[in-house]
Amino acid sequence: MRVGATRRIAGAVGLALMGVGGYLLLGVRDLTGVLVWLGGAVVLHDVLIAPLVLLAGSVLDRGGARGPVRGALLVMGALTAVALPVMLRPGKPADASVLPLDYPRNWVVTLVAVAVVTALVTVVRGVLRGRRR
């Protein structure tokens, strides 16, 4: 599959998911809470996540790890932003089936998985570059 076709498919899927999100937003009763959360997510991204990713990219300027590490940091930041409301919840919910999993542990496992995949991608890219030379 060509790169152009892949981008078009990814764009179409993204637009469809935005449509689903917009439709679901119509059913929200307390829209101010959603807007505050979305505003906080934007501030978190622009004040913390993006500068840290750019700093890591400038530190890793030399070598083939720059792109994969930047991508991993963005994914880890997004996972953290999504997981924060659940991890910072005040106490136990009244209904144990509402949040039945160990979310902090699962968050750490997911971050470790992203780091392992990033390390594997970096190693494979290094090996492939070594073969080309």
**pLDDT tens, per residue, the chain with 133 residues:** 566 888 899 999 999 999 998 898 888 888 888 888 888 888 888 898 888 878 877 777 666 677 888 888 888 888 888 888 777 776 666 666 666 777 888 899 999 999 999 999 888 888 887 777 6
The answer to whether residue 10 sits within a structural domain is no
The answer to whether residue 18 sits within a structural domain is no
Number of domains the chain is built from: 1
The answer to whether residue 36 sits within a structural domain is yes
The answer to whether residue 35 sits within a structural domain is yes
The answer to whether residue 81 sits within a structural domain is yes
Distances (CA, A) of 107 to 44, 71, 102: 18, 17, 9
Put simply, whether the predicted model's pTM sits higher than 0.75 gets the answer no
- Sequence-distant (6+) residues with CB within 8 A of 74 are 49, 53
Distances (CA, A) of 124 to 34, 76, 80: 41, 21, 27
The answer to whether residue 4 sits within a structural domain is no
Q: Which domain holds residue 52?
A: 31-132
The answer to whether residue 24 sits within a structural domain is no
The answer to whether residue 1 sits within a structural domain is no
